[in-house]
Amino acid sequence: MQKYLLSIITVVKNDEKNIQKTIKSILNQKKVKYEYIIVDGLSKDNTLKKIKKYKNKIHKVVSERDRGIYDAMNKGIKMSKGDVVVFCNSGDFFYKNSLNKVMNLFNNYNYDFVFGTVLRNYKKAKILKYGFSFKRLLYNFDFATSHSTGFFLKKKIYKKIGNYNINFKCSADYDLYFRLSKGNFNGKATRKNEIIGNVASGGYSSKLSFFDHLVEESKIRLKNNQNILFVLIIFINAIIKKFLKIILG
């Protein structure tokens, strides 16, 4: 028996092409107790029409203007009633019966968070993302799976550390990870071969430049009290690596 309720939240805006794939992957999950919430950013295409096809199986749908993806995610957290929260945003999907595996970890070991292995799609490659290391977070943001689809966190922990900071437009998840890493919380990662979800390429963050990302990530480090000299070294090192990658092809 599952003692925890899972809140699954999908954030979407103008994605009529992919929303059904995401919804179906959630509704097809077995042996897991969940509520499903969709937060739409006032879509102008046929996204809402496609959502309505499943209205009897979706617990809550809201469609209104927001201030970006992290604002929409915060709305979802606020509406949720579950013990554990996960995001599966439009275009992403869960593999068959994967949620049952994650919730068994919460039920059997009472973890505060779980990082599930995900297959992350990029424009030119697919990369398996698994495990996590908060020590690695101190110098490299590529320390874990992505915030959506692979990251499960108890709602009571959100209440302790706060939600996503909407002042960060593309990397607010890393700011939240910093806050999580400072607490005495107990977490686990699924095994490498236990693939929980598939994360689509693209999205808002892909529209921003390398420099935009780097500046925001540096602000996040400073906000979380990293030494300014250390942050400067990380900043310069990232620029050098990017320059060499361009030069060497």
- How many Å apart are CA 149 and CA 127, to the nearest integer? 15
Query: H or E segment at 182?
Result: helix 172-182
At residue 148, what are phi and psi to the nearest 5 degrees?
-95, 155
228 exposure class (CB count in 10 Å sphere: 0-12, 13-18, 19+): exposed
What is the pLDDT, as a whole number, of residue 176?
A: 96
Q: What is the per-residue pLDDT across 103-141, written as a single tens digit (0 to 9) for each? A: 999 999 989 999 999 999 887 889 999 999 999 999 988
pTM of the model: 0.94
Classify domain 6-202 at the CATH class level. Answer: alpha beta
Domain boundaries of the chain, sorted by first residue? 6-202, 209-249
The 3-state DSSP class for residue 138 equals coil
Q: Is the pLDDT of residue 1 over 90?
A: no
- Rounded percentage of the chain residues whose pLDDT exceeds 70: 98
Per-residue pLDDT for 7 more than 80?
yes
pLDDT-derived band at 204 (thresholds 50, 70, 90) equals low
67-112 residue pLDDT tens: 999 999 999 999 999 999 999 999 999 999 999 999 999 999 989 9
Label residue 205 by pLDDT band (50, 70, 90).
Answer: low
Q: What is the DSSP letter of 206?
A: G
Cβ atoms 57, 27 nearer than 8 A? yes
Q: How far apart are CA 180 and CA 189, in angstroms?
A: 15
- C-alpha–C-alpha distance, residues 24 and 19, integer Å: 9
